[in-house]
Amino acid sequence: MGCFPKIVRDQHMEKGKSYMLIANHTSMLDIMLMLMVSKNPFVFVGKKELVKIPVFGFFYKRVCIMVDRDNIRSRTGVYRRAQRRLDQGLSICIFPEGGVPEEHIALDAFKDGAFKMAIAHKIPVVPITFYDNKKRFPFTFLNGAPGRIRARVHQFFETGILAEEDKSTLREEVREVIFKELSEKL
């Protein structure tokens, strides 16, 4: 496809340790780039609606923890399924914007789920900035171009001493790291 990754790491993940991977969501390339960024095995948490996409949906439902965001039982069930995956030594990846924002929005507001889950499971949050995926492979038909796709793995946020009431502060601090990086480098 002509996309050449460049990944900068401020901190490295330890082999065999679980993390909450958080990145801005800009393109279908985000999934592939995340697979290159994390050398540790992980599972995505994603919305149930994507199962309907032909071919992609078949694989998606086998490698993701799916959530129906309109169903409270589905949302709470994600925690149990995530715990099973964490017990297997996997990390969790969530795009906390809850979808791909419109093209003119650099970074949408983050939802609480990923941060609540990271605190509940006492796993570090790994903020990751994807810079170029939107321009390389946007959701607008017949747009995009080959080239470099850059990612930056920022310093991790430890959650071991945090309580659930800290989730909003954690969410905003992580969002600010990614937003500041996007503002400076785009």
Is 139's pLDDT higher than 90?
A: no
The CATH number of 3-185 is 3.40.1130.10
Question: What would the two tokens of residue 167 be?
Answer: 């989730």
What residue segments make up the domains of the chain, in order of their start?
3-185
pTM above 0.85, yes or no: yes
> How many CB atoms sit inside 10 A of residue 42's CB?
21
pLDDT band at 51; cut points 50, 70, 90: confident
Average pLDDT, the chain: 87
Helices 167-185 and 113-121 cross at an angle (nearest 10°) of 120
